Amino acid sequence: MKIRYDRSVDAAYVSFLGDSEEASFGFAYSCDPKEVGGQINLNFDISGRLIGIEILQASKTLPASLIANA
């Protein structure tokens, strides 16, 4: 698992793929922003396997220590 943070857009991405793994993007499922306090998108490959999570407004949702280490 890898976590990347892009400060310019305040977005974090949690990838469940290993360094040598590749997957073809299949579809995304967006969670309701009202329920989570920011938009969260679940990304799945063409087989329906969860490959990553995109968190928008990450600085408002994730612990500061997690973002600092990303």
DSSP class of residue 57? Answer: T
The answer to whether 19 and 37 are in contact (CB under 8 A) is no
Q: Which two tokens stand for residue 43?
A: 């990304």
The answer to whether 14 and 52 are in contact (CB under 8 A) is yes
Per-residue pLDDT of the chain (70 residues; tens, 9 = 90+): 899 999 999 999 999 998 778 889 999 998 876 766 668 999 999 999 999 999 998 998 888 898 888 8
Q: What is the pLDDT of residue 38?
A: 66
Q: What is the pLDDT of residue 3?
A: 92
pTM: 0.83
State the residue for tokens 């009202």: 34
Q: What is the pLDDT of residue 36?
A: 66
